[in-house]
Structure 1
Amino acid sequence: MKNKFSLWFLSSVVVAVTQAQGVQEKSTNDWPVLTTYDAHHLAKIAMPIGGVGTGTVALGGRGDLRDWEMMNTAAKGYIPTSEKLRYIGPFFALYTQTADGKKDTRVLEGPLDYSLYEGAFGSPAVNHGFPRFESCTFKAAYPFGQVLLSDKKVPLDVRIKAFNPLIPGDANASGIPIAAITYELTNTTDKAVFASVCANMPNFIGEDGSVREPIGRGNALIPVGAKENKNVFRKDKNAQGIYMSSEGVEKDSEAWGTMALSTSSSEKVTYRTSWGKEVWGNSRLDFWDDYSIDGRIDNREHNGEDRPMASMAVEVSVPANTSREVTFYLTWHFPNRETWTPAEDGLDNMLTNYYTTQYKDAWEVVEKTIPQLPNLEKKTKEFVNAFVNSDLPKVVKEAALYNTSTLRTQTCFRTADGHFYGWEGTSNTKGVCHGNCTHVWNYDQATPFLFGELARSMREIEFAHATDDKGMMSFRVNLPLERANEFGRPAADGQLGAIMKMYRDWQLSGDDALLKKLWPKVKKAMEFCWIEGGWDSNKDGVMDGCQHNTMDVQYFGPNPQMGIWYLGALKAASKMADFSGDKKFAKTCNILFKKGSKWMDENLFNGEYYVHHIEPPKSRDDIAAPLLKGLESKDLENPAYQLGKGCLVDQLVGQFMAHICDLGYLTNEENIKTTLNSIMKYNYRDDSSSGFNNMRSFVLGDEKSLVMASYPGERPLYPFPYFTEAMTGFEYTAAIGMLYEGQTENGLTNIKNIRDRYDGLKRNPFNEAECGNNYARAMASWGAVIALSGFHYSAVEKSIQFTATPGNYFWSNGNQYGTVEIKNNGSKKIVLLKVLKGEISLKSVKLKGFGSTSFKNEKVLKEGVSQEFIIQK
């Protein structure tokens, strides 16, 4: 199939999905559903619920809450427990009583995994020992997660609905520290049922989950840090519930703050601010007996625990054959975040989270949010429905949408000034690889196309703060911003990618003022390539110096990965220079682009793919001082960790970015297509059980993948360290490149293979890992949406472009979003464009490879209005 794809092909190529993925369910007026996970694919599901830059709690596959990551650090697997109740953590329970007096009490979760029952002293699983529902299914269309529970012994079916607002172009509305969890109770009998839903949660302020100590004689771990925590029942205009604070945790601690467990002020509730004194399980027994009598709970005196347990039960009558809902809100407010680069230099090592400047405490979060939540839910549904109901393959939508959850995890945060930052990912207990790492965040397409404000913030940090007067950009930014350039090391791909990202974000936003502000440093960053001993010191358009890059090593000599990034940066810089009135610089960049592009095709393309010519420096004196830092290879005469003649999965990453930016081809188009076919030929693994891997394993057994590099010919003795691995961000880049070149079946196959690995049974569908959990590079997956829809938007030129292939598509530019329907009409095409958020001004509408229409006067498309355009070939 060349250049275009049919809707039939898109649907048929992904028919063979795993049992876990099931079939896509069309959205209705109810919550949208993209993926259904059956009972055998629930164990690893942990869907983050929380705002952008606020931290999260995760909805588990069986309806439990896990990964409590609210206190400014990662805490994978962390479930807070009460001080002396050991294995009792947060849980929700259901009490029912039928008309004939039959009672039932159980936890609102599906069955526990048998693997959780291993242990010499009984099950170490939190909340073991409680009765549960026998049947459980998980449905998702991020940020909406649903758990369906049923049991023949229970007169009600239950649907758990959990979400946090996610609205493209509105970072504040998408950055509220709240998890809204609704229990929808459906009466399956012909008589009314009295029900009560009880929420239970310890006040664990002071315990971020990063430090845990063994307890008892088993292998369980309990966190440490809470001290003199207090629970108080509050009722105000909009909310009622348990407000949690601490009188003993130091107020400058990252784990100091407030939390609240609440419901609407109109509900009928009973509550406890503390459970009874614990002796041999009596406290647990006391709660269960009390609640199981009538679905109500009596308060208990504070038992002296530092982590007192709080409970709140909401009563409701469910008429025959109808449904009723009970909603709880978890809110949090933890202001202090330690900088990722603490130092003894007189600067403050504590930062303030942006979201905490919007609210004074966790109670104000819920009081302010409850009135807004119906509208926020409506807007979130509008976005997700528009996306899910588009005519793109299910695996593409799943990969793009589910990886946006990374923005809500502890991988990302915002500081009080609104700036947006990200680790590369996280370990189970902390961030991994600090500093908005340019060469990793180069791949992310979700942030710029969903939250342009945050992406532009990263550009400002890169150029205004992390780039020095000589044009050297630290590829990791230190904090506070007074330390921004202290890391003092440039990455070739990171710096060149930042120039392309600046062009992309300027085009998407039309923010001429930002370009004007940053252009001097953008120009300096481009000129840094030409310094003595630099990446292209002889200024011939070819990168051949000492090039540190995302493989965490330095390449010596011309290679496709850095070289094509360079070509893309030259092309982007020429366009920005031209707009800025710097015609001379624009001409310089254009000349170097043409020379470099020609040279690469003539010298690096071997007929199948682009190779690396290893050219060691004569001595360290030939390498510019900033590039000498952190040299991995000590023998410069015969440097280790090179690519050499390998076929690199990521060799066309610069071309991937050029397509995203609508910059055209950077080298010969046919060579690009041939290279992608070669990557599929040489790097594709249909089975991972037989291949040798000397590093980390992200694929196992019969799982399919694209490995980082293959060596059809000669291999260096010690290639770059990751060459035998397979990592999703790199796989997405290659797959999306294939989509752009019309190699649709190969591209979709690779995306499907990734999502098959993250199926809920083997791995968490909401956590694609690389060097850490929730890895930023995986957000390259949003690029597949752009590739298949053919979307390009320029707020500078006031133009919008789509594929000419008929269908329904979703589009977003980071500030506005909407849908487009493209239909055939004889020799013409009808384009029905709708803006769902904001408004855009257009001078032209284009269909790639077909035609365009232009307007003498700008057309302003307002929110909620559809506009039809007819385009002649």
Structure 2
Amino acid sequence: MSMFSNFKQQINFFVSVLLCFITLAQSNSLSKPEVSHRSHRVRSGVALGGLGTGSIELRKDGNFYNWSIFNNYPSGTGSILDLPIKPFSNDHNSFLFFLVRYKEAGKQPKIKLLQHSDGIDQGGLLNESPIYYFPWLTPIETIEYHANFPFVKMTFSDNEMPFMISLETFSPFIPHNPDDSSIPVVYFNFSITSKTDTPLEVEIIATQRNLVAFDKGKKFFKTEIQKKDGYTFFKHDVGGVPTDHNTYGHMGLGAFGEQDVSYYTGWAHRHPFMEKLLTSSKLANIDDTKNRNKTAPDGTQIAFTGDDNNQILKSSIAITKTVVSGKPVKADFFMSWYFPNAYGAVNGKRNKKKNTLLPGDKGYEIALKQTNIVGRYYENNFKNVEQVNSYVTKNKKSLYQRTKQFTNDFYESSVEPFILNQVNSQLNTLVTSSQYDKSGRFAIQEGMTANQAWGPFATTDVSLYGSVMTLSLFPELQKSMMKAHKVLQTEKGEINHGLGFDLGKNKNGTFGVYERVDLAPNYIQLVLRDYLYTNDTSYLREMWPSVKLSIDYVLKELDKDGDEMPDMHGIMCSYDNFPMYGLSSYIVSQWIAALKMAAIAAKDMGEESLSKTYEKIANNGIDLIDSQLWNGQYYRLSNDYLGEKGKDEGCLTDQLFGQWVAHQAGLGRLFEEQKIKSSLQTILDYSFIEETYLRNCTWPEHKLFYPMHDTNLWVDQANTPWTGVELAFAAFLIREGMIDQGKNIIQAVDNRYRKAGLYWDHQEFGGHYYRPMSAWSVIDALSGFNIVKNQYTFDPKTKENTFTYFFSANTGTGQFLKEKGKLKLICKQGSLTLSSLKLPSELLPKLNTAKISTSTNQKINGKWNKYKHDDSEFLIIEFKDNIQLKPADFIVIE
């Protein structure tokens, strides 16, 4: 029995070995597995364009997405850019793309496409079988994408290619200079570096599709070659279209240089364009546009008689260079456009059956009702695309240097790179979502996806978060937005939720939420925060009557129980999917901040009695929020203490949002420090979920997940994070000395969006959301920067002996730094005006020997005095005469 068993074991062993060999042989015959990683997704990128000019979005695959330069929806009121294309075609790839042709001595020329595509087509050149038709044209092997708004740097490399190409592209973005930040232009600066000792012939070709009046089938194409000193430009135009049509205008590409520039305009099909490109190191300098058009019997061009899916015209411009080892060669292009027919619009409600506008009708659909032309701000500086070109070519160096200086200054900082990058990513929304019309009105769209506008412009509640970035970088634009709201204020003082595409028109409500208790306090805080920051007394005089009217409106219309506090009775604030009743910490903390600022403004307006009244109501509000909302750990969501709903123990992340605003406005603490910090810590304990996201609200009995079972709620806002709230809360933590906790929140946001591939497109109510622009408050929180009526305060949140912080003030940018025992405040761009300077006493331990001077030898009339603020000791010097600093000027304290 044992012998048999042993023999059986041997047989089993040999069988198992044989199976192993068979399996190994099979595995060797199979292909190796390919791995798909989430980082391979191409979902967002930097927007190239100016403030209110429309933009194009460059992503890491080298393609340009989300074209919005044509006044097209969702950025404008024109048609959506939805061209008839073949199924599964990456048609956007053909709008703008770059090729590089190169030839090594003794070898056939090759062409590389400087982009990747998931489709079978390449650069819009082919819709089928490119690997068969053009085996010598292949996509570049590797693209390295590095983005710091407004710059994108891409490095293109390929094992077949004996050189490398890098591209730096940007549009001008210069804080405190809205004119130069609203130019309809994108620069493309290429650099070619050889990897061989043999001279190379390299040609970079830029191609653009004519999309002028893209939504009009009845048109014919026009192309004009413009040769100027130092550059060649082709202008795309069309005929047969009304010149006031919203998508009518001009667009084109330019190349810097003279003898090395060539062009081939007006082509559509791959033949003979590709053959000509392959056989010659320069384009043919021909315009073939007439062959894209239909002609009358007499030979004149005529418009197409109807929609024609083959209405395609492309033009190419190239720069040819000889490249030798050790000498990088430059090849620079630019794209410009001019589409002035931006129409305003308001929301109408169209009855589907009768096709009439019937507000309140149940059988309606939302439609854009186009109004008058509001235009583009850039029309004030340029009358046509030729004037744009003249300016951007003559001032290329200056525009680049000033834009680059802002980016360099911002990143020359002691702040951790992940924080700087997260704040920098939110600057993108200023371009993707901005409306800047000819009259100078400016606003940000609340949210936007590729095919839909989400919410109004300049939404009051969301602006209170996001506009801190606009105020810091372009204060005049922020004030213009508030002036637009002032015009639309109702007679009794109510403030509208948001503005339409025509910024002089109202677009109120969100999904039926029209009665919003927070809008008037939002408006008051915004106007007065902006006044304190800019010290613009004329602005205060203009806005003051509307501020007082808003306060009266709250007291007369929104205070239902006579306690002089606005009352909630359902879903009626920015958190528009879960209800609050009675006294709400979110609303009342804002109302207190509004009244505290109003007390300051009233005094500045000479209304002492009114100032005392506002101060008294604010202080009563502080007593009420402490007595009715404080539960020993945090301020509860709401308390209907004179009604039937009673207490709601929800722990809202934004429960002390008014305190965040107060920190922005330099008011200091409105509430007791111990209660503030206890609330902040409880929020972290309840709602910072596994350090991946900070949800909006947690109830003690539902710490894991709040059960959302009501199908009428359009979105779950309690269990989800709002990025703008997270970043504002992080800044709040840092202001309160909870620095590491604040940084952890920012790191969680940064990680989450990088993993999602949406780093440049933060989501909430649509994408490119306005609220996360609150990120700028983090920059100010880390340096402890405030500016109140030209009084500068710095309170750096660091224990390091040396540091550098970037800041943006009301008229310019600067740096505050400590090195070699000296404190310096340096003006970087624009100008700085200081009436006084306030610093924490620990920065000046030897006050009796501290000396203050300026690089311009301005006389310092003033002395240091001690100042108590939020239980901390500061030193303040008030200047008898304001200190004026221009770029490179500085104040030094040693």
TM-score class, shorter-chain normalisation, is: 0.7 to 0.9
Q: Is residue 688 of structure 2 the alignment partner of residue 684 of structure 1? A: yes
Change (3 A) 1:804 1:788: closer
The 8 Å contact of residues 439 and 491 in structure 1, kept in 2 or not, is answered as no
Measured in 2, the distance between the counterparts of 1:83 and 1:122 equals: 10
Cα deviations by residue, 1:691-717 (Å, 9 ceiling, x for unpaired): xxxxxxxxxxxxx21112112137797
Measured in 1, the distance between the counterparts of 2:879 and 2:74 equals: 56
Change (3 A) 1:243 1:115: closer
Q: Which amino acid aligns with 1:317?
A: T
SS at match of 2:43: coil
Say which of 336, 343, 346 aligns to 1:338: 343
Measured in 2, the distance between the counterparts of 1:104 and 1:616 equals: 78
User: Which residue matches 1:504?
Assistant: 529
User: Which residue matches 2:69?
Assistant: 70
Measured in 2, the distance between the counterparts of 1:670 and 1:139 equals: 43
Measured in 1, the distance between the counterparts of 2:790 and 2:430 equals: 30
Any unmatched runs of 5+ in structure 1? 1-37, 209-223, 277-282, 619-636, 688-703
The 8 Å contact of residues 495 and 550 in structure 2, kept in 1 or not, is answered as yes
Q: Which amino acid aligns with 1:138?
A: Y
Q: How does 1:354-365 map to 2 (within 5 A)?
A: 354-365=377-388
User: Which residue matches 1:799?
Assistant: 792
Q: Which amino acid aligns with 1:107?
A: L
Q: How does 1:99-498 map to 2 (within 5 A)?
A: 99-109=105-115, 111-113=116-118, 130-207=137-214, 227-264=219-256, 266=258, 268-275=260-267, 283-298=269-284, 299=286, 300=288, 302-304=291-293, 306-341=311-346, 348-409=371-432, 411-444=433-466, 445-463=468-486, 465-478=487-500, 480=502, 483-484=505-506, 491-498=516-523
Change (3 A) 1:80 1:107: farther
The 8 Å contact of residues 49 and 408 in structure 1, kept in 2 or not, is answered as yes
Q: Which amino acid aligns with 1:232?
A: E
SS at match of 1:663: coil
SS at match of 1:421: strand
User: Which residue matches 1:762?
Assistant: 756
Q: Which moved more, 1:89-98 or 1:849-858?
A: 849-858
SS at match of 1:392: coil
User: Which residue matches 2:56?
Assistant: 57
The 8 Å contact of residues 50 and 171 in structure 2, kept in 1 or not, is answered as yes
Structure with bigger gyration radius: 2
Measured in 2, the distance between the counterparts of 1:349 and 1:535 equals: 39
Q: Is residue 622 of structure 2 the alignment partner of residue 597 of structure 1? A: yes
Q: Is residue 574 of structure 2 the alignment partner of residue 568 of structure 1? A: no
The 8 Å contact of residues 565 and 583 in structure 2, kept in 1 or not, is answered as no
Q: Is residue 660 of structure 2 the alignment partner of residue 656 of structure 1? A: yes
Change (3 A) 1:107 1:504: same
Measured in 2, the distance between the counterparts of 1:608 and 1:123 equals: 67
CA drift of 1:378 comes to 0.4
Measured in 1, the distance between the counterparts of 2:647 and 2:291 equals: 64
CA drift of 1:861 comes to 3.5
Normalised to the residue count of structure 2, the TM-score between the two structures is: 0.79
User: Which residue matches 2:720?
Assistant: 725
User: Which residue matches 2:833?
Assistant: 841
Q: Which moved more, 1:471-480 or 1:446-455?
A: 471-480
CA drift of 1:179 comes to 0.9
CA drift of 1:40 comes to 4.6
User: Which residue matches 1:707?
Assistant: 695
Measured in 1, the distance between the counterparts of 2:139 and 2:893 equals: 58
User: Which residue matches 1:9?
Assistant: none
User: Which residue matches 1:774?
Assistant: 768
SS at match of 1:387: helix
Q: Is residue 840 of structure 2 the alignment partner of residue 852 of structure 1? A: no
Change (3 A) 1:529 1:517: same
The 8 Å contact of residues 839 and 876 in structure 2, kept in 1 or not, is answered as no
The 8 Å contact of residues 834 and 883 in structure 2, kept in 1 or not, is answered as yes
Measured in 1, the distance between the counterparts of 2:586 and 2:529 equals: 20
Any unmatched runs of 5+ in structure 2? 1-36, 294-309, 349-356, 359-368, 841-871
Measured in 1, the distance between the counterparts of 2:212 and 2:757 equals: 30
Measured in 2, the distance between the counterparts of 1:123 and 1:529 equals: 67
Q: Which amino acid aligns with 1:679?
A: I
Q: Which amino acid aligns with 1:612?
A: L
SS at match of 1:139: strand
SS at match of 1:339: strand
The 8 Å contact of residues 664 and 777 in structure 2, kept in 1 or not, is answered as yes
Change (3 A) 1:226 1:730: farther
User: Which residue matches 2:862?
Assistant: none
The 8 Å contact of residues 782 and 797 in structure 2, kept in 1 or not, is answered as no
CA drift of 1:241 comes to 2.1
The 8 Å contact of residues 235 and 250 in structure 2, kept in 1 or not, is answered as yes
SS at match of 1:359: coil
Q: Which moved more, 1:835-844 or 1:729-738?
A: 835-844
CA root-mean-square deviation = 3.3
Measured in 1, the distance between the counterparts of 2:391 and 2:315 equals: 22
Measured in 2, the distance between the counterparts of 1:614 and 1:422 equals: 34
SS at match of 1:519: helix
Q: Which amino acid aligns with 1:767?
A: D
Measured in 1, the distance between the counterparts of 2:625 and 2:414 equals: 38
The 8 Å contact of residues 832 and 869 in structure 1, kept in 2 or not, is answered as yes
Change (3 A) 1:613 1:819: closer
CA drift of 1:206 comes to 2.0
Q: Which amino acid aligns with 1:835?
A: C
The 8 Å contact of residues 185 and 324 in structure 1, kept in 2 or not, is answered as yes
CA drift of 1:615 comes to 3.1
Change (3 A) 1:41 1:385: farther
Change (3 A) 1:395 1:124: farther
User: Which residue matches 1:32?
Assistant: none
SS at match of 2:292: coil
Q: Which amino acid aligns with 1:157?
A: M
Measured in 1, the distance between the counterparts of 2:630 and 2:259 equals: 70
Change (3 A) 1:69 1:480: closer
User: Which residue matches 1:745?
Assistant: 740
Change (3 A) 1:163 1:523: same
Cα deviations by residue, 1:742-797 (Å, 9 ceiling, x for unpaired): 222221111111111222x6223211121112111010111100100101112x25
The 8 Å contact of residues 800 and 842 in structure 1, kept in 2 or not, is answered as no
Q: How does 1:803-822 map to 2 (within 5 A)?
A: 803=796, 805=798, 806-822=802-818
Measured in 2, the distance between the counterparts of 1:81 and 1:95 equals: 30
CA drift of 1:560 comes to 1.0
The 8 Å contact of residues 831 and 885 in structure 2, kept in 1 or not, is answered as yes
SS at match of 2:887: coil
User: Which residue matches 2:298?
Assistant: none
Normalised to the residue count of structure 1, the TM-score between the two structures is: 0.81
Percent same amino acid at aligned positions? 23
The higher-RCO structure (CA 8 Å, 6+ apart) is 1
